[in-house]
């Protein structure tokens, strides 16, 4: 019962109809995608298979930096826009021990190939949230392509998207800068440069303290 001082709140506090509540609970998460520079985008996992993210931005290549493959990448609607040969998956955890540096040259080559392939070629780099792993890779690419200092490269990305590579990836970007975008002294990839060797020693000590080897499997076979 309501009074002038105490209005009846029952209508406002009534539960949602069951169908409406169920629809709200299962509402699809939003795809988030940002253009960092012409032909280069960062996004979250949903942007890698949602048509409303891929099609308007004319995405023709995808670099997935993630702990598992997603089944929807193989769907017809995705492969019609991004052929399998234009999709590179790099298994990667967003944690304190993941080493991305051995992949950096390859992923930078992939980004450059597709970002410079022509006016109609655009590459999406994504991880789970589009904040840490994918941002670290795009920063590394800008550093190598344009000779940018780390601070300048990350600031350039942050002007277009809110990103925050984790402390481990920031350490690796400092190594990437110190070694001049090449972590090995030799062509065979057997002798690390000093900055990379120091990083490997630090990582090995951390892994040992955690009871890990660094060879543990990454994520799940697929989502």
Q: 34-46, pLDDT tens digit by residue? A: 999 999 999 999 9
At the topology level, CATH places domain 29-165 in 3.90.190
pLDDT at 222 over 60: no
Q: What is the pLDDT of residues 163-203, one digit of tens each?
A: 999 999 999 999 999 999 999 999 999 999 999 999 999 99
Q: What are the catalytic residues?
A: 127
The structure's pTM equals: 0.86
Q: Are 140 and 103 in contact (CB under 8 A)?
A: no
What stretches of 11-141 adopt beta strand conformation (E)?
33-37, 40-43, 59-66, 87-91, 122-126
**pLDDT value for 29:** 85
- For the segment 104-159, what is each residue's pLDDT rounded down to a tens digit? 999 999 999 999 999 999 999 999 999 999 999 999 999 999 999 999 999 999 99
Q: Taking 90 as the threshold, does the pLDDT of residue 6 lie above it? A: no
Mean local confidence (pLDDT), 26-54: 93
């Amino acid at each position: 019962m309501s009074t002038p001082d105490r209005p009846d709140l029952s209508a406002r506090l009534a539960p949602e109809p069951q169908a409406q509540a169920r629809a709200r609970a299962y509402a699809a998460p939003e795809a988030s995608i940002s253009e960092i520079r012409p032909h280069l985008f960062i996004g979250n996992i949903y942007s890698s298979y949602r048509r409303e993210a891929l099609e308007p931005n004319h995405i023709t290549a995808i670099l997935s930096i993630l702990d598992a493959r997603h089944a929807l990448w193989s769907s017809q609607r995705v492969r019609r826009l991004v052929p399998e040969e234009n999709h590179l998956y790099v298994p990667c955890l967003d944690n304190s021990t993941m080493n991305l540096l051995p992949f950096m040259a390859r992923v930078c080559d992939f980004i450059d190939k597709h970002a410079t392939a022509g006016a109609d070629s655009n590459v999406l780099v994504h991880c789970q949230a589009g904040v840490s792993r994918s941002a670290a890779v795009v920063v590394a690419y800008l550093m190598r392509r344009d000779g940018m200092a780390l601070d300048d490269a990350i600031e350039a990305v942050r002007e277009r998207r809110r990103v925050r590579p984790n402390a481990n990836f920031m350490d690796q970007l400092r190594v990437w800068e110190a070694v001049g975008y090449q972590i090995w002294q030799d062509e065979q990839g057997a002798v690390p440069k000093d900055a990379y060797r120091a990083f490997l020693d630090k990582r090995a000590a951390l892994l040992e303290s955690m009871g890990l080897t660094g060879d543990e499997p990454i994520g799940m076979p697929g989502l």
